[in-house]
Amino acid sequence: MTKLEAIEKQYQRAIKRFEEILAEKKSDIVRDSAIKRFEFTFDFSWKIIKAYLEEEKGVSCRSPKECFREAFHQGLIDYDDLWLKMTNWRNEAVHTYSEKFADTLYKKLPDALKRFQLLEKRILHQSPITNYHSLNPLSNK
């Protein structure tokens, strides 16, 4: 089993668990659980990109932002600054905690889930990402 194959199952499970918690009615417990599941899914997202780039493209990257930039460059994901913002969200969620930040982040998690799902589709099913910019409410396209 390759590194990519090993991470694929973990990534799929993380997405499924993230989807499940976001389908629940919001409460403080649901919010906090969703943020934790976002962290796990985010970590698997950049690790699956790292493994994919190494095994399929012969390209190495060492950090989430570096892997996302290389994924943009390789055409694995369309340019979307939300990937880089999610890196900051993840770091802030892990290292600091405030109710205000948690509430703000929780509102952004459905957009993060859409990116994770598209990445899953692209890597695992080799399907082209279409109309990616329509998922970003800040996009001018």
Q: Is residue 140 part of a domain?
A: no
Nearest to 137 by CA among 116, 115, 106: 115
Instruction: Give the per-residue pLDDT at 132.
Output: 37
User: Sign of dihedral through CA atoms 65, 67, 68, 70?
Assistant: positive
Name the more confident of 77 and 137.
Answer: 77
The C-alpha angle 130, 11, 132, rounded to 5 degrees, equals 15
Q: Is residue 141 part of a domain?
A: no
Instruction: Give the per-residue pLDDT at 7.
Output: 96
Q: Is residue 60 part of a domain?
A: yes
Residue 107 is part of which domain span?
3-135
Q: How many domains does the chain have?
A: 1
Q: Is residue 70 part of a domain?
A: yes
Per-residue pLDDT tens over the stretch 71-105: 999 988 888 899 999 999 999 999 988 999 999 99
Nearest to 45 by CA among 32, 20, 63: 63
Q: Is residue 30 part of a domain?
A: yes
Per-residue pLDDT tens over the stretch 50-69: 999 999 999 999 999 999 99
Nearest to 94 by CA among 137, 43, 44: 43
Query: What is the CATH classification number for the domain harbouring 55?
Result: 1.20.120.330
Instruction: Give the per-residue pLDDT at 136.
Output: 40
- Compute the distance between CA of residue 102 and CA of residue 89 in angstroms, rounded to an integer: 10
